[in-house]
């Protein structure tokens, strides 16, 4: 199991996706609010909001939740201001970890994350300390009902870097700075993607043993349970037999 699984964000353990449904919606709501607050509530004129809405729909977030988040963010009475921060560090076994947050208290979040790292054989570092080990890219997932040749042709035209045919879908990869243009072109020509996200893909993976994996997962669980955390990325590589042991 590699740590760069694009859309699962390391939430494969112990049925965590079902258990964290409410937390997923809370994070999506926060992203929608920030997008709407900074760029307005009209998705046609706000690329970040369009991306947030695609993510919300792919997670089956209720429309009422979405509308409520946009309304709150665009209300003059809403004084909440979230700051976007990227934290970087090393987990157990030298695994590189990137944590993206939206927080209304930088000091609180930094203190909590530092504690998670230090108590689990890790260390929080400076910005840039591990991000050079990752590629910052956009990913778009389309259904197999669209022919690969069609997606490939349109993706090339849009400026994407790669198209791969996976077991249940097609995956388009593009540079971070081209994400909005590629997404909008493919949406216009093909339809809304199943998922669209910006991610950190590790350039190399770090193999870990069972004990290291347990410590690493414990730390990641703590990080993901923090309300300010939006995404976690890591460059671990865990053998399937080890994953089965620690997931049972």
pLDDT tens digits for 181-228?
Answer: 999 999 999 988 998 999 999 999 999 999 999 999 999 999 999 999
Q: What pLDDT, on a 0 to 100 scale, did the predictor assign at position 13?
A: 45
Do 131 and 201 meet the contact criterion of CB atoms below 8 Å apart?
no
Residue 7 lies in a domain: no
Q: What pLDDT, on a 0 to 100 scale, did the predictor assign at position 47?
A: 87
E strands in the chain: 83-90, 96-103, 123-125, 134-143, 162-165, 169-175, 195-202, 206-207, 229-234, 236-237
Q: What pLDDT, on a 0 to 100 scale, did the predictor assign at position 21?
A: 80
What are the pLDDT digits (tens) for 48-107? 999 899 889 888 999 999 999 999 998 877 767 899 999 999 999 999 999 999 999 999
If asked whether residues 174 and 139 sit together in one domain, one would say yes
Residue 4 lies in a domain: no
Q: How confident is the model at residue 9 (pLDDT cuts 50, 70, 90)?
A: very low
Q: How confident is the model at residue 5 (pLDDT cuts 50, 70, 90)?
A: very low
If asked whether residues 117 and 87 sit together in one domain, one would say yes
Residue 241 lies in a domain: yes
pTM (2 d.p.): 0.84
Which whole-number Å values give the CA distances from 66 to 15, 27, 54, 197, in the listed order?
25, 12, 11, 18
What are the pLDDT digits (tens) for 172-193? 999 999 999 999 999 999 988 9
User: What residues form DSSP beta bridges with 2?
Assistant: 237
If asked whether residues 196 and 211 sit together in one domain, one would say no
Q: Provide the domain limits for residue 215.
A: 83-132+203-247
Residue 27 pLDDT > 60, yes or no?
A: yes
If asked whether residues 54 and 173 sit together in one domain, one would say no
Residue 166 pLDDT > 50, yes or no?
A: yes
- Distance from C-alpha of 231 to C-alpha of 98, rounded to nearest angstrom: 8
Residue 119 lies in a domain: yes
Do 73 and 37 meet the contact criterion of CB atoms below 8 Å apart?
yes
If asked whether residues 126 and 226 sit together in one domain, one would say yes
If asked whether residues 89 and 211 sit together in one domain, one would say yes
Pick from 131, 181, 191: nearest CA to 161: 181
If asked whether residues 171 and 190 sit together in one domain, one would say yes
If asked whether residues 41 and 30 sit together in one domain, one would say yes
Residue 3 lies in a domain: no
Average predicted confidence (pLDDT) for the chain = 89
First and final C-alpha spacing in the chain? 15
What are the pLDDT digits (tens) for 101-159? 999 999 999 999 999 999 999 999 999 999 999 999 999 999 999 999 999 999 999 99
Q: What pLDDT, on a 0 to 100 scale, did the predictor assign at position 23?
A: 85
Q: What is the CATH number of the domain that holds 52?
A: 1.10.10.200
Q: Backbone phi, then psi, for 4, in 5-degree steps?
A: -105, 20
- Distance from C-alpha of 55 to C-alpha of 232, rounded to nearest angstrom: 16
If asked whether residues 90 and 176 sit together in one domain, one would say no
Domain count, the chain: 3
If asked whether residues 111 and 123 sit together in one domain, one would say yes
Residue 1 lies in a domain: no
If asked whether residues 223 and 120 sit together in one domain, one would say yes
If asked whether residues 99 and 185 sit together in one domain, one would say no
Pick from 23, 15, 19: nearest CA to 232: 23
Q: What pLDDT, on a 0 to 100 scale, did the predictor assign at position 18?
A: 54
């Amino acid at each position: 199991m590699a740590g760069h699984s694009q859309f699962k964000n390391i939430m494969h353990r112990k049925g965590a996706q079902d258990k964290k449904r409410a937390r997923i919606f809370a994070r999506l709501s926060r992203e929608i609010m920030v997008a709407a607050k900074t760029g307005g509530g009209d998705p046609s004129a706000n690329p970040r909001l369009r991306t947030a809405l695609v993510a919300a729909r792919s997670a089956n977030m209720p429309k009422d939740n979405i509308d409520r988040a946009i309304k709150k963010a665009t209300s003059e009475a809403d004084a909440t201001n979230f700051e976007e921060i990227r934290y970087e560090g090393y987990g157990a076994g030298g695994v590189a970890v990137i944590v993206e947050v939206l927080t209304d208290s930088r000091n609180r979040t930094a203190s909590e994350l530092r504690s998670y790292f230090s108590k689990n054989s890790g260390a929080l570092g400076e910005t840039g300390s591990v991000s050079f080990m990752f590629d910052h890219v956009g990913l778009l997932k389309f259904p197999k009902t669209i022919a690969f040749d069609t997606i490939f042709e349109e993706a090339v035209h849009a400026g994407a870097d790669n198209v791969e045919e996976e077991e249940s879908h097609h995956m388009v990869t593009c540079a971070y700075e081209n994400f909005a243009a590629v997404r909008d072109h493919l949406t216009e020509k093909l339809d809304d993607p199943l998922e669209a996200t910006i991610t950190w893909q590790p350039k190399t993976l770090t193999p870990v043993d069972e004990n290291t994996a347990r410590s690493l997962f414990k730390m990641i669980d703590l990080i993901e349970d923090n309300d300010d955390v939006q995404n976690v990325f890591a460059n671990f590589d865990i053998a399937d037999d080890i994953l089965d042991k620690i997931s049972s």
